[in-house]
Copies of this chain bind each other. A is one copy, B any other.
Amino acid sequence: MSYSWPEGKRAAFVFSVDVDIESPMLWRMRGQEIRGFGELEQRRYGERVGLKRLLALQAELGIKASYYVPGYEAEQYDWILPTLQGQGHEVGLHGYYHELVNQLSPAENAEVLDKSIAVFEKQLGVTPKGYRSPAWELTQELPEQLKERGVVYDSSLMGYDHPYTVNGLTEIPVQWLLDDAIYFKFSGGGLDKWYPPSPYMVLESWLEEWEAIYETGGLFMLTVHPWVSGKGQRIRMLRRLVEEVQGRSDVWLATAQELAEHHQGSANSFEVSLTPPDTRF
Interface residues of A (CB under 8 A from B): 22, 26, 29-38, 40-42, 44-45, 48-49, 97, 100-103, 135-140, 156-161, 166, 176-177, 182-183, 186-189, 193-202, 204-205, 208-209, 211-213, 215-216, 218, 231-233, 235-237, 272, 274, 276-277, 279-281
Contacts and interface: CB of A to CB of B under 8 A. Distances in A.
B197 A22 contact: no
Contact of A199 (B135, B156, B208, B232): B208
27 contacts: A26-B279, A31-B279, A31-B280, A34-B276, A36-B102, A36-B138, A37-B139, A37-B140, A38-B136, A38-B138, A38-B158, A41-B138, A42-B157, A45-B158, A48-B160, A48-B272, A49-B160, A135-B189, A196-B205, A199-B205, A199-B208, A200-B204, A201-B201, A205-B233, A208-B236, A208-B237, A212-B231
A157 B197 contact: no
A270 to B, nearest CB: 8
Given A158-B41, A158-B45, A188 B135 contact: yes
B102 A35 contact: yes
Contacts of A29: 279
Contact of A274 (B31, B37, B160, B276): B37
Given A45-B158, A45-B159, 11 more contacts: A26-B277, A26-B279, A34-B276, A37-B157, A37-B274, A38-B138, A41-B272, A41-B274, A42-B157, A183-B195, A199-B205
B195 A197 contact: yes
Given A102-B35, A139-B35, A204 B211 contact: no
Nearest to A1: B52
A49 B161 contact: yes
A119 B274 CA distance: 25
Contacts of A187: 176
B159 A41 contact: yes
A169 B5 CA distance: 53
A115 B281 CA distance: 14
Contact of A186 (B30, B176, B216, B274): B176
B193 A209 contact: no
B233 A208 contact: yes
The 7 A-B pairs of least Cβ separation, nearest first, read A212-B232, A36-B102, A41-B159, A36-B137, A35-B102, A198-B205, A42-B158
A205 B199 CA distance: 6
